[in-house]
Chains A and B, each alone.
Chain A
Amino acid sequence: MTTAVQTTPLQDLLEQFARLHRQAHDTETKRVAIVASKGTLDMAYPALILATTAVSMGMECAVFFTFYGLNILHKRKSRSLQVAPLGNPAAPIPVPNILGAIPGMTWMATRVMHWMMRRQNMPSIQSLLETARSMGVKLIACSTTMGVMGVKESDLIDGVDIQGAASFLEFASKAHITLFI
């Protein structure tokens, strides 16, 4: 036979206090959800720098690579990410912006950026990706982008999850930090 447990108003109050106390001293793991939507060198770095830093700080992190951002996970394309000077006044090339339309200028800006990164001992995109993967950053390839752009699973680096928007949003709905890059 079971008997209903009666709680007194004081017990209710204490329970409520304990719950609020736990919330105030929130010790749950922080979660970071990043969308990487651009496939250029200058957009790949911020996403991977933030992701690797997040896991270093003890946070849980997932990066959803969608549209051109999927190139970052592409075995071949991730080795040749570029930065375009055309329409990018901040590009690392000291010439009038319109000259960025000349063939070879994107190549040159990309070379300059690689040089600037190496000069400061910055890791390559491949190296950052490997660090991210080994430290537990969840790398998610957008299944729609794969379909639209004809990317096969074998085109992507190892250790990538293939998911759609719903599963990423479920993860992001419990995130403390959400970034679209």
Chain B
Amino acid sequence: MTTPIAEHQTLDTSDTLCPLPVIAAKQATDKLARGQVLKVIATDPGSKADIPSWARSAGHTLLKWEVQGKKFVFWVQKG
């Protein structure tokens, strides 16, 4: 059992496709302080690759991600 990550904010992008999950994630992290964690929920199959790419490019850290049923869940720490 892994330690749960405490997120500061949750963003649910379910039922939207690229580019919306990434745009929404960017807008949400803009409002966070460095070090805070954003939990992103997505159903776009592309987000499995896109959210990690976005996090790397934007200077954030992907702490963890997992599949929950039909949803992809990511924990991104603002860098």
Contact = CB atoms under 8 A, between A and B. Distances in A.
Interface in B34-59: 53-54, 57-59
A120 B25 CA distance: 18
Interface stretch (A55-63, A65-73, A154-162): A55-63
Interface residues of A, number: 16
Given A120-B17, A122-B17, A30 B57 contact: yes
Nearest to B15: A121
Dominant secondary structure at the B interface: helix
A57 B57 contact: yes
Interface residues of B, number: 15
Contacts, number: 43
Interface of B: 15-20, 22-23, 25-26, 53-54, 57-59
Given A30-B57, A55-B26, A57-B54, 19 more contacts: A49-B18, A53-B18, A53-B22, A53-B23, A56-B19, A56-B22, A56-B54, A57-B26, A57-B53, A57-B57, A58-B58, A59-B57, A120-B16, A120-B17, A121-B16, A121-B20, A122-B20, A123-B20, A131-B23
20 contacts: A30-B57, A49-B19, A52-B19, A53-B18, A53-B19, A53-B22, A55-B26, A56-B19, A56-B25, A56-B54, A57-B22, A57-B26, A58-B57, A58-B58, A120-B15, A120-B17, A121-B17, A122-B17, A131-B23, A135-B26
